A and B are shown apart, each in its own frame.
Chain A
Amino acid sequence: MWGAGLLNGLRITLRNMLRGPITVKYPHEKVELPERARWAVEPTFFEDGSPRCTACLTCVRVCPDHILSLDVETREDKSKRIVRFGYEIGACMMCGLCVEACPFDAIEMGHDYELAVTDPAELRRTLLADVDAASAAKHREEKAKASGEAGEGSDA
């Protein structure tokens, strides 16, 4: 019968009306992001507050869009100082290749997704500025400590 499909459609629409909304009232309610969600790149720090970055430049080389930059000063004793770790968030596609490439887990993809700005200058972020880069020795120390703790934990 012509029109039976129309009536059936009306029935389906009514059923959907009773299912209730699936949206949330965004600025007041926020959906929790999955753990793997990739948003802006953020630096990570040791427990004592110093950056984990060793200024090895791996992320700068890996980035497909060339938006990461590291100005580094090397002192006479080979220790490095990060003058500026620059990050052009306006050009970042958040592919996560830099985070995967980092051998020291010194950067991570953050969960901050409210990235709109009113001033274009804010699209040029500085992740780290004027700090001493971590040494590979410090990473080794931490690793040894962590594995030691894990070993103790497994013993107990």
Chain B
Amino acid sequence: MSDPRYEIYEAGLIGEGMHTPPVLPAGLRRAPGGVDGLRTEHLVVNMGPQHPSTHGVLRMIVELDGEEVVTAEASIGYLHRGIEKVAEHRRYDALGTLMDRGDYVAGIMGELAAALATEQLLEVEVPPKANWLRSLTSELNRIASHLVWFGTFGLDTGAMGQFLYAMRDREALLDILEAISGQRMMFNYVRPGGVVRDLPPGIDAKIREFVDTFENVYLPEHDALLGGNEIFQSRVKGIGVITREQALAFGLTGPNLRASGVKYDVRVDRPYAAYPELDFEVPVGEAGDAWDRYLVRMEEMRQAARMIRQCIDGMPEGPHMAKVPKLIKPPAGEVYAAVESARGETGVHLVSDGSEHPYRFRYRGPSLFALQALEEILPGHLLADVVMIIGSTDVMMGEIDR
């Protein structure tokens, strides 16, 4: 051996057994002896919870062999607020305030799930206008949520510009949602029985103007800027493949499932709000890799813009709130209601004992299932791809930790 790197071995500075720690830290596996008798160990890297690319407070414990992931473990709970327990002390009309803080980028959909569950318990018929307003705000919120994903997914790959452009468009959306509901993200707009307020005067024109520019100018630009970029394509294509079987086995829903080729959408399969009357397509991917997840989400934004236009055009007249008692005391029972949120099937399981507070409140967050699938698909990828695969699944820690 004439290589100078091995001189220390020849000099006897590090002898056999000297560089082997006597006790390995927990979770560390000893690699088999490499070539030239050089022993390498697996390296455990803590990504997060404050790593900028783990989207919130996700901590990935990644075991690396060189740059290759051997095992990946998601450590969650850094954003735990006990939403499900707190809900047992909240009145039914205040459940929406908790759901807003679950999936905080797509609050309307969470509120809607809680409201649908309460309505099932109460057996209330929601007026048609409320249904249309629910669909309208849901789709506005879906675009806002997908824009956050689009921006941060690009950031994960190292692109910066499109993040700022995505935030610009989201800002316009949040202004519209603030004018409708009163707040930018913690809307508290959808209530059991309908929605709390009608559209403010003059917002139709604003929404129309936004949708026109977004659909015709901004969205094609976003797609060309990030998806049309060859570096991005070569970086994203083929990584993080979730097969159809895996996706179903892990209980994935939403764009992550559809990218794997399963056509399941709560809006179509278990329709709610005004979706049966709206005309839209459900995009489905084939390969289930990060690129397919990108394509599905981009197409979903296009379809959402289409639906917003239909909602504005076809908005029926009438009351926006059904007659619901001020103090909601539903009869005892157990219900499950689900909506298609930006990340998948957001469900609420409510158990009522007839009092003014729920007896049990369970929040099904779709990101939790996507995160568990990550542990299986990450091994074998490079460390640099881990960030991108997490980004492509659009996990939201607010609803995972609850």
Contacts and interface: CB of A to CB of B under 8 A. Distances in A.
B94 A95 contact: yes
A9 B94 contact: no
A22 B230 contact: no
Interface in A34-76: 34-38, 62, 64
B261 to A, nearest CB: 26
A3 B182 contact: no
B223 to A, nearest CB: 10
B161 to A, nearest CB: 5
B229 A9 contact: yes
Contacts of B228: 5, 8-9
Interface in B339-397: none
A101 B196 CA distance: 12
Interface of A: 2-6, 8-9, 12-13, 15-16, 22, 33-38, 62, 64, 93-97, 100-101, 109
Given A22-B168, A37-B182, A64 B94 contact: yes
Contacts of B231: 6
Contact of A93 (B97, B165, B197, B221): B97
25 contacts: A3-B230, A5-B224, A5-B229, A6-B230, A6-B231, A8-B225, A8-B228, A9-B225, A12-B221, A12-B224, A16-B221, A35-B179, A35-B200, A36-B179, A36-B197, A37-B178, A38-B183, A64-B94, A93-B97, A93-B186, A94-B183, A95-B97, A95-B186, A95-B188, A97-B94
Nearest to B101: A93
Contacts of B175: 34
A34 B229 contact: no
A36 B230 contact: no
B93 interface: yes
Contact of A36 (B165, B171, B181, B224): B181
Given A9-B228, A13-B161, 4 more contacts: A5-B230, A9-B224, A22-B171, A34-B179
A64 B197 contact: no
A15 B165 CA distance: 12
Interface in B119-159: none
Nearest to A22: B168
B237 interface: no
Nearest to A97: B94
A6 B159 CA distance: 12
Contacts of A12: 221, 224-225
B97 A100 contact: no
B294 to A, nearest CB: 14
Interface in B172-203: 175, 178-183, 186, 188, 196-197, 200
Contact of A34 (B168, B186, B200): B200
Nearest to B226: A9
A64 B230 CA distance: 51
A64 B97 contact: yes
A109 B188 CA distance: 14
Nearest to B165: A16
A15 B224 CA distance: 13
Contact of A2 (B181, B196, B221, B230): B230
Contacts of B161: 9, 13, 16
A27 B188 CA distance: 29
A101 B171 CA distance: 30
A5 B232 CA distance: 10
Contacts of A62: 91
A5 B234 CA distance: 12
Contacts of B221: 12, 15-16
B90 interface: yes
A38 B182 contact: yes
B186 A36 contact: no
A5 to B, nearest CB: 4
Nearest to B224: A8
B225 A109 contact: no
Nearest to A63: B94
Contacts of A101: 326
A95 to B, nearest CB: 5
Contacts of A109: 182
Nearest to B221: A12
A49 B161 CA distance: 53
A9 B182 CA distance: 36
Nearest to B227: A5
Contacts of B94: 64, 95, 97
Nearest to B234: A2
Nearest to B217: A15
Contacts of B91: 62, 64
A90 to B, nearest CB: 16
Given A6-B230, A9-B228, A12-B221, A96 B90 contact: no
Contact of B178 (A2, A4, A5, A34): A34
